[in-house]
Structure 1
Amino acid sequence: MLTEAIILILAGSVIGTLSGLLGIGGGLIIVPILTFVLVHFHQITFDQSILMAIGTSLASIVFAGGVSSFYHTKRNNMDWSIATQYIPGVLLGSTMMAFVIPHLNIAFIKHAFIVYTFLAAYEILKAPTIKSVVQLPAVFFANIYGFAIASISTVIGIGGGTMFVPYFIYHKVKPRLAVGLSSSLGIFIGLGASFGFIKNGLHVSQLPQFSIGYIYLPGLILITSSSLIFARLATKWIHQISVLSLKKIFACLLFLIGLSMLFAG
């Protein structure tokens, strides 16, 4: 139990830092780590473990994103008039996909996660090649995009930061504001998805103790509590340090995570 707690607290500290600096909720780290914890410490099958890891990851994003959004708002890195245009589509996409995902093939979910980690690592490492910039779309198209990102994010178990941040930057939004917007929209991805994962897992047998549906409460509490502390610190650091080195480290970490998941299960 002590080893498990240390692993989850360390994971939370890394996730909080990434959330505050890059607007990334940390699901790409939570999912493989929590899958490992559930398989090796609780002898839960890989299929059930990855579903629980995704559900718990999305639930944790509600809290980490909430704190990050609060401090970004406090430091004028947030514009709720933009965020509200995307929220309906985000909620609909995450809630619908949360009800679909338990019926998907686990191999599909696993390989979708692996492919996304490699793509995210590549996008983070490569130099930006934007040739033109355009204004934010109308509300209808904003919700379509929000729906699409939330649906993909729910399958992967992430808050959508690796998609929302470059999207907003492309649409003439300043980078720090893009991070704040990404954090806020992650809250609503987490809320919609958590509802579905709880409902779908309530009557599933052989889940670990202290679980609510497909959400593992000890993992949620330990990861979230440590991530909240570091998310608050990171929103201060964003004005003081360059994130270029952090991006390179994170990209390499994603590549290693993708490889580890490729050979897991």
Structure 2
Amino acid sequence: MQILTEALILLIAGSFVGTLSGLLGIGGGLIIVPLLTYLLIHFHQVAFDQAMLMAIGTSLASIIFTGGVSSFFHTKQNNMSWSTAAHYIPGVFLGSLAMAFIIPHLNIAFIKHAFIAYTFLAAYEIFKSPKIKSLVQLPSFIFANLYGFIIGSVSTIIGIGGGTMFVPYFIYHKVNPRLAVGLSSSLGVFIGLGASFGFIKNGLYVNQLPQFSVGYIYLPGLIFMTASSLIFVRLATKWIHQISVSSLKKIFAYLLILIGLSMLFTG
């Protein structure tokens, strides 16, 4: 009964994660991390610190699949520019890889509050962003990778795919919101790849982790959430064309405010 209950919770969570990934270009880590932390503590009696690390590691691993499928369908829907994404991929990958090795020794209180401030600032920038243009206005390759490194690092600490930072960033640079969502999905894959390697390596020799774990990645959580999320990713990438650009901007801005408030009053 416990196994079935856990599986059902993970499947339902995955459906929400897939919708967020396809519709808004975010990996769903802000749902996965608190939920999976609770499940690991409640069902498997994992210590809080280890449960948090496993939740973050599993969340980032899931983004490889949800982000990959999301970016595939966004490419088919012409919501993707791989030449643009290529400017950010090296920095994103290196930032997430480096931070995955640092995070077990890190105090994240300051970063948490900095991220909260960022969500409110990003929401404000989206509400007042200038007229949307089809042309992508990129910084230089060096600055793009520097920004990618920062986002990859911060995303790894929080356990997210970077969409809450990449989407506002691209919209601020006059990128169409639908294209911004596609770009964010693709870059989330490389955050997941870099971070997963580090979380697996860090947790390989840690004792008292639950069964079916590979390092700090909890395989049942990864499998069940990914299975349902991939279905909803495909649906959401179709729904995105039924929503106006103005509405999509507002939805994302309100989501950022809710995320900021939830983090502010949690912990």
Same-fold call, TM > 0.5? yes
* 2:232 counterpart residue number: 230
Q: Which residue does the alignment assign to 1:153?
A: 155
Aligned: 1:101 with 2:103: yes
Q: 1:223 to 1:249 in 2, by over 3 A?
A: farther
The residue type paired with residue 21 of structure 2 is S
Residues 179-199 of structure 1, C-alpha deviations (whole Å, 9 max, x = no match): 000000000000000000000
Structure 1 residue 174, shift from structure 2 partner? 1.0
Cα shift readout 1:200-236 (whole Å, capped 9, x = no counterpart): 0000001010000000000000111111110110000
Partner of 2:140: 138
Letter in 2 for 1:128: F
| Counterpart Cα distance in 1 of 2:125 and 2:188 | 24
Change (3 A) 1:253 1:161: same
Q: How much has 1:256 moved relative to structure 2?
A: 6.7
Q: Is the 8 A contact 2:15 2:228 kept in 1?
A: yes
Show the counterpart of 2:9: 7
Instruction: Pick the aligned partner of 2:58 from 48, 56, 59.
Output: 56
**How many aligned positions are there?**
259
- 1:254 aligns with 259
- CA shift, 1:116, in A, is 3.2
Residues 129 and 171 in structure 2, CA contact (< 8 A), matched pair in contact too: no
How far is the alpha carbon of 1:25 from its aligned partner? Answer: 0.7
Change (3 A) 1:162 1:248: closer
Shift in CA distance, 144/119, structure 1 to aligned 2, threshold 3 Å: closer
**1:238 match: secondary structure:** helix
Alpha-carbon shift at residue 260 of structure 1 (Å): 6.9
Match of 2:128 in 1: 129
Identity, % of aligned pairs? 67
- Aligned partner (choices 17, 20, 23) of residue 21 of structure 1: 23
Q: Contact (CA 8 Å) 2:119, 2:257: kept in 1 or not?
A: no
> What is the alpha-carbon distance in structure 2 between the residues aligned to residue 243 and residue 64 of structure 1?
20
The match for 1:47 is: 49
CA distance in 2: counterparts of 1:124 and 1:103, whole angstroms: 31
Alignment check: 8 A CA contact 2:33 2:159 kept: yes
Question: Can you give the 5+ residue segments of structure 2 that lack an aligned partner in the other structure?
Answer: none
Distance 1:244 1:91 in 2: 27
Runs of 4+ displaced beyond 2 Å: 108-127, 129-135, 241-261
**Structure 1 Cα separation of the partners of residues 37 and 121 of structure 2:** 24
1:229 and 1:113, CA in 2 relative to 1: closer, same or farther beyond 3 A? Answer: farther
Q: Helix, strand or coil for the counterpart of 1:230?
A: helix
Would the alpha carbon gap of residues 4 and 245 (structure 1) be closer, same or farther in structure 2, given more than 3 Å must change?
farther
Deviations 1:81-137 (A, max 9, x none): 010111111111000000111122xxx336744763575367447862346999310
Instruction: Check the 8 A contact 1:32/1:257 in 2, yes or no.
Output: no
Normalised by the size of structure 1, how large is the TM-score?
Answer: 0.89
**Hey, what does 2:35 align to over in structure 1?**
33
Amino acid at match of 2:189: I
Counterpart CA distance in 2 for 1:13 and 1:249 is 20
Please provide the CA RMSD for this pair: 2.4
